Each structure stands twice: as structure tokens, then as C-alpha cells.
Amino acid sequence: MARSGQEQEAESTAAFKVLKRAMELDSESRYQQALVCYQEGIDLLMQVLRGTKDVTKKCNLRKQISSYMDRAEIVKKYTDQEKEDGKYHRQIKIEENATGFSYESLFQEYLNETVTEVWIQDPYIRQIHQGSGKEQQSSGLQEIKESLKNHGVLLELEYSSSVHDREIRFNNGWMIKIGRGLDYFKKPQSRFSLGYCDFDLRPCHETTVDIFHNKHTKKI
């Protein structure tokens, strides 16, 4: 379906807004975040290009896209080197009552086809909310273990009375530390409130997420 001039203008504005943010992050040496914005902005510009009929405009768009792609390639090399050197660090601050921070939203970027093991260390992982009964939650974890087994996923559980740190490690080198651990969601008001099932809609407690990369990531 052909897009109207107004729709193309809106898409173009959105693309350059994202690319402007990419350049700002790039100038601050926040390369991983900049790369994500470059990729998103380039994809948006490609959509504009496909819907453009004017030959001159198409030519200018191709030049701009090529320029941004060249810079994105350089930024990607920076991020790859940071990972290689074990210097990569990204921090996400989750504000009080913020939404849009489901586990999928936080972790999806770092989970790819190379991940075969995940190690989670969290002092409150047995509890739905801090203060819940341990026996009930231990039983729940056993049920999860059996359910995962049916899908070919092995869940190993270890308990410790001395664990205080909170870490999540993937065997592709990514390590994530969340200040509150996995217990950063607020309790839903009811089973029928928004966010009860969709965690992107559930309000969060204030916390900080630190993301690191080390190709030699070891098991906790």
C-alpha cells in the first residue's frame, strides 16, 4: 500500500530523531546503546526509501543510509573490542513505578542461539514476594523444574544460607546485576489489574541494572 506524503514525512522525522540519539550516545562513548539506535534508525530510513518515488530524494537517502551504516560498522567494532577486553558496561536505571521492564525486555537483547546455560544467583528467588513462605515457594520451583523438563530444559537448584549477591550469567559472556535481584516488580493490585500477566505493564520498584560482558564468564 502506497504511503501518503504526510506518512512518509512522519517516518522520516522518526528515523532522524533516532539517529540523532545514536550520534549523541556515540559521542558519549556509549557504543552498545548507540549501535542499537543506529540499527533502528537505519531500518526506519530504509522504510522511507522504499516508499519514496522521487529519484533525487532516493539518491540522497541512499547516501545518508550508507553514511550511517559505515559509522554503525565502526561502532560495532568498538563494542566488540570492549567485549573482548572485558570492559563493556551498560547501566539501566529503573525509576519508581516505571513500566516496560519485563524480564523479556531486559534480557532478550543478550539471549541468542549461542546461549545454552544460564546461571542465576538471587537470595530471594524462592519467594514470589519477600516474606512469602519458603516451603510454598520451594514447591513452586520444583513444579517449574518438572515443567521445563518437558520442554528439554534442565533446571538445577542449589540452596545457600550465605548468598547475598544477585547475578545472572549467560554462557555467551553476558552478566547482569540487578540491585533488587529479580524481585523488582511491585505486587499487582488484583488478578484483573494490568500487569498481572504482562510484566511490561507492571510497575517496578526503583533499582539499577548493570550489564557487563566477559568472554571468559564462569559459572557462579
The per-residue pLDDT of the chain, averaged, comes to: 87
Give domain status of residue 142, yes or no: no
191 in the same domain as 99: yes
Q: From the CB of residue 73, how many other CB atoms can be counted at a distance below 10 Å?
A: 11
Choose one of 59, 86, 113: the last residue of a domain.
Answer: 86
Q: From the CB of residue 12, how many other CB atoms can be counted at a distance below 10 Å?
A: 19
95 in the same domain as 32: no
C-alpha cell at 26: 556515540
Give domain status of residue 28, yes or no: yes
Average pLDDT over residues 175-195: 92
What backbone torsions phi and psi does residue 25 show, to the nearest 5 degrees?
-65, -40
Give domain status of residue 21, yes or no: yes
| Number of domains forming the structure of the chain | 2
* Report field, pTM of the whole predicted structure over 0.75: no
Q: So what's the pLDDT on residue 90?
A: 84
71 in the same domain as 57: yes
81 in the same domain as 184: no
Per DSSP, the three-state class of 139 is helix
Q: So what's the pLDDT on residue 1?
A: 46
Q: From the CB of residue 11, how many other CB atoms can be counted at a distance below 10 Å?
A: 16
Q: From the CB of residue 114, how many other CB atoms can be counted at a distance below 10 Å?
A: 9
Helix (H) or strand (E) holding 176: strand 174-178
Output b/e per residue, 147-168; b: 16+ Cβ within 10 A.
Answer: eeeeeeeeeeeeeeeeeeebbb
Give domain status of residue 10, yes or no: yes
Cβ atoms of 34 and 26 within 8 Å: the answer is: yes
CATH number of the domain encompassing residue 67: 1.20.58.80
Average pLDDT over residues 125-152: 78
Q: So what's the pLDDT on residue 113?
A: 85
C-alpha cell at 217: 564468564
Task: Return d(Cα 39, Cα 152) in angstroms, integer.
Answer: 34
Residue 190: give the domain boundaries: 89-123+163-213
